[in-house]
A and B are shown apart, each in its own frame.
Chain A
Amino acid sequence: MKWMTFGPEIYTLLAALWFLLLSLGARPDAKREHLTSLLLAAVGVMVSVAAIKAEGHLFVNAYRVDFFSQVFKVMLSLGLFLIVCICGNLTDIRERNRHDFYILLFVCTLAMMLLVSGNHLLTIYVSLELSSYSLYVLVALRRDQNFGLEAGIKYFLVGIFASGVMIFGLALLYATTGATTLDDLVKVLPPIINQPAVIIGLLFTVSGFFFKLAVFPFHIWAPDIYQGSMNQVAAYIATASKVAAIAVLARVIASAGEGSTYLVHVLGVLSIISMTVGNLAAIAQQDLKRLLAYSTIAHAGYVLIGILSLNAAGYAGAVYYAMAVLVMKFTVFLVIVEVADDGRNVQIEQLAGLHRRSPILALALMVSLFSLAGIPPTMGFTGKFLLFVAAMGRGYFTLVLIAMINVVVSLYYYLLVIKAAYLLEPKEALPPLNVSPFIKLLSGVLAAVMIAAGLFPYYLIELADAAAKALM
């Protein structure tokens, strides 16, 4: 076995262990820990990029490394790095928990890397659980006991329910096909995909990923957990966790082949309900994080459009959309973290006067919200465009039309946020935000990336296409 094939995972594990070591001995020092984690995460991105061409099967076919998984590992390590960037001011957890916070963050990223490469069904299950358990604790870490604990327990209860459904689905799938790895499923599944037991098994299996992705009917946790967890953790759930869920969902669904009408119908209905419910509920939200939670549900619906096309174009759209979600969701959370310097939750009207308090943050916020809404020339638009082209190629006109109507609805509430940032004036005059040059640079770069990826999408589309081809 070539060690580089497993490089990103080993590296992330070592980084997590390093923090475990620190937690045993060293005196807590916020600044030093942040810099260490920043450095470790940055090197992690480089390791993942270096391993992008790696290929092979490991651990008796339990683990599959291909271009698809490696692209997602880059995204995940990038997600981790971005999240660590906004952890400079961790006011919302106790000092003694800060090491645990970093350990869990790295472990969770490790689990997601394992998840996107999982080939054996149990590998997938175990790594899904590992990532979920890290997140349960991360959510509960918030200093405000009532808020954080309540959210953590809610998350845990919905999560174990979903994983119960998933393990039942895995059992059904094994009973009907006799296969335990995705490689085998690809061979046996397509001919028998329209049998009731198989389709139910497959749908129950993906329920676990629906929970991660917050697809209807496994979406109810999202608003409460986003609201209850600290801003950085919510950002992590909204970005990296979603990216991993999209990857594993695409991988498992891809094993079903192209010919399953039932699967398409179920996914289509779930997609429509997810985006409609998400967008309609988001309109009424006052808390920015709750609003983002509902918009996440809607975005899960859009991603399903690509997945249910069941062809390379659709999966490529989903991969591209995963990249877009990572960047645009993170940018909004970056603004939240900077505005709420004491770690509180941000109400929409508390953004008032942002355009004067920090023009660059306001600009980044505007670009990311337009990107979330899917207005060109932004990354979010290109993502939606690819998904729609894939779905239209299969003849799903109505689905695309409904999705576009949802885009209109979503623009309404995104505009309300933009209005707050650019138009409303705060009740009492607030001083300019104290934003470090690093964060200013980061938000400028992110805004530029979103626009550049919308204007010149060529390379990212090629990348997504190549990843999707590796999947098929």
Chain B
Amino acid sequence: MHITYASFPYLSAILLSCVVGLLAIMLIPEERKALIRWVSAIFSGITLVLSACLFLAYDKSLGGLQFAEKASWVPSLGISYFNAADGFNLPLLLLTGIVFFTGVLTMWELEMRVKEFFAHYFLLVTAVFGLFMSMDLFFIFVWYDVSLFPMYLLIAVWGHTRKEYGAMKLTLYLLSGSALILPAIIYLFAKSGLHTFDILSLMQPGIFTAEQQKFAFLLLYLGFGILAGVWPFHTWSPVGHVAAPTGVSMVHAGVLMKVGAFGILRVAIFLCPEGWQYYAQLMALLAAIGIIYGALVGLRQTDLKYVIGYSSVSHMGVVGLGLATVTAQGLNGAVFQMFTHGVMTALLFSSVGYIYDRTHTKMIPELGGLSRIMPVASTYFIVAALAGMGVPGLANFWGELMVFIAAFKVYPVRGIVAVLALLVTALFMLRVVQRAFYGPGNERYAQLPDVTFCEGIPRMILVAVLVLFGLYPSLLLDVIQSASIPFMNGLPR
């Protein structure tokens, strides 16, 4: 694979900006809440700008790994600090930057233990960035677990609705995932005989036998699959998303679930392609069940956040289906869907967060007629819901389209069933919109203020991203293709 080393260390700069932000927040006294918010906004803004620059500076015609940075970390174990960007992780780095910044803005009104919240939040995002950019198995695992570090407290302290249960369930589920990932990683390390954790060296064909690949792939798929919300290991996700505070839900559903899917791609599929081909049928089956199950369960929910939570399970199933096709088109669709679903879910949670902060309820029957009381806030939610239904003109349409075209060719039956299930998703989204935003209003909420311009900024950014990539998908698709096509061509047949 082609590697270009970085002239300016963009990737480390992103991490550094998160870490410096974290340290700055820790040094500010607890009482200076406004200062803490501004510092958070500035550093997350820098991060967003850096990740956007990175996305634009990537040379699509050249392809391969760019902006690579490599330094030996623990030579005796073959661990190196190795970051690089390619078509697979660039969209996700951009996504993380967007959700990070908008998440900070969405949490602007937080009053309780502000300093601790943003410190934990920065640590979480640092870990996610680190994982997306790392090309070293050891670091991927470390970043995976570092993201667990702040998660429990973020949900348990600042959350609501069975928060302690949700936080504990989520943390233990994700750690169970790492209990499968770490043995698999060390297994691959020991079996390769190369004494390195470098993914590029380990992904050369012929290093692992087919049996080893099948064995390790299954462990890695299940381990990362837990985080990706693969059915039947998804149960932590709706509970966790509902319990988490708004900004954390955004990062969590928007970015962290993609970490799981990305882990399957970067670690399991890169290192064990034969295992991938062998288990593709199983992956497609679980993904299809996830799509249907998420849709049907979502239909019965009365809590707005649960609706979004189950729609996430369904949409992540689409990602899984794309990965299971073992085609370049499927990979394109999967990565595209990861990006767009991340933005869309962040927008949904951000809108619901606003409504919940004002009305103090997220039960659909108690709401109603909100579009007359807060038209702007409702618009944001409705745009996100339309995106979730896959309406053309918004970015999600393209991701789902690509995945389904690829899936029809490989798995016709599962593909058709999955598309039908997406109709159910559309149905329940419309139902939510109708019940909560139209129909008779609730008198209690008549005096509530609408979103002001400043409060709306994070949501505007998210809407703009959805529209931009909905109208101009090749901006993203070309980047992804620069990685997926060479990767598929390089696979042994």
Contacts and interface: CB of A to CB of B under 8 A. Distances in A.
Interface of A: 355, 370, 375-377, 381, 385-386, 388-389, 392-393, 395, 397, 400-401, 404-405, 407-408, 411-412, 415, 418-419, 422-423, 457-458, 461-462, 465
A165 to B, nearest CB: 34
Contacts of B180: 401, 404
A375 B189 contact: no
Contacts of A401: 179-180, 183
A422 B171 contact: no
Given A389-B189, A389-B190, A458 B183 contact: no
Contacts of A407: 175, 179
A423 B145 contact: no
Point out which of A389, A408, A412 has the most chain B C-beta atoms below 10 A from its C-beta: A408
A412 B76 CA distance: 33
Q: Per DSSP, are chain A's interface residues mostly helix, strand or loop, or mixed? A: helix
A463 to B, nearest CB: 11
B146 interface: yes
A418 B153 contact: yes
Given A412-B172, A461-B77, 14 more contacts: A375-B145, A375-B175, A376-B145, A381-B145, A385-B138, A389-B186, A392-B187, A400-B183, A401-B180, A405-B176, A419-B164, A457-B74, A458-B75, A462-B76
A396 B141 CA distance: 20
B402 interface: no
Interface string B142-178: 1001101100110011000000100010011001101
Contacts of B146: 375-377
B283 to A, nearest CB: 22
B472 interface: no
B73 interface: yes
A376 B146 CA distance: 6
B488 to A, nearest CB: 31
B182 interface: yes
A422 B150 CA distance: 12
Contacts of B116: 355
Given A377-B142, A457-B74, A458-B73, A388 B175 contact: no
Contact of A397 (B73, B145, B183): B183
A296 to B, nearest CB: 21
Given A419-B156, A419-B164, A422-B153, A411 B175 contact: yes
Interface in B322-371: none
Interface in B422-450: none
A417 B350 CA distance: 32
Contacts of A458: 73-75
Contacts of A397: 183, 187
Interface string B464-475: 000000000000
Contacts of B145: 375-376, 381
Contacts of B74: 457-458, 461
Q: Which secondary structure dominates chain B's binding surface?
A: helix
Interface of B: 73-77, 116, 138, 141-142, 145-146, 148-149, 152-153, 156-157, 164, 168, 171-172, 175-176, 178-180, 182-183, 186-187, 189-190
10 contacts: A375-B148, A375-B175, A392-B187, A395-B190, A401-B179, A407-B179, A418-B152, A419-B152, A422-B153, A458-B75
Contacts of B164: 419, 423
The 3 closest A-B pairs by CB, nearest first: A404-B179, A376-B142, A392-B186
Contacts of A375: 145-146, 148-149, 175
Given A376-B142, A376-B146, A392-B186, A408 B179 contact: yes
A408 B175 contact: yes
Nearest to A422: B153
Contacts of A386: 77
Given A376-B145, A389-B77, A461-B74, A408 B186 contact: no
Given A401-B179, A405-B179, A408-B176, A392 B149 contact: no
A388 B172 contact: no
Contacts of B168: 412, 415
A461 B76 contact: yes
A411 B171 contact: yes
B156 A400 contact: no
A422 B113 CA distance: 11
Contacts of B190: 389, 392-393, 395
A355 B171 CA distance: 21
A405 B183 CA distance: 10
A392 B142 contact: no
Contacts of A422: 153, 156-157
A418 B176 CA distance: 19
A308 to B, nearest CB: 16
Contacts of B156: 419, 422-423
Nearest to B138: A385
Contacts of B152: 415, 418-419
B140 to A, nearest CB: 11
Contact of A388 (B142, B157, B178, B186): B186
Given A370-B149, A407-B179, A392 B77 contact: no
A462 B73 CA distance: 12
Contact of A400 (B148, B153, B172, B186): B186
B157 to A, nearest CB: 6
A377 B116 CA distance: 19
Nearest to B191: A392
A423 B157 contact: yes
Contacts of A400: 182-183, 186
A137 B424 CA distance: 72
B227 to A, nearest CB: 14
Contacts of A388: 182-183, 186
Contacts of A381: 142, 145
A381 B190 CA distance: 19
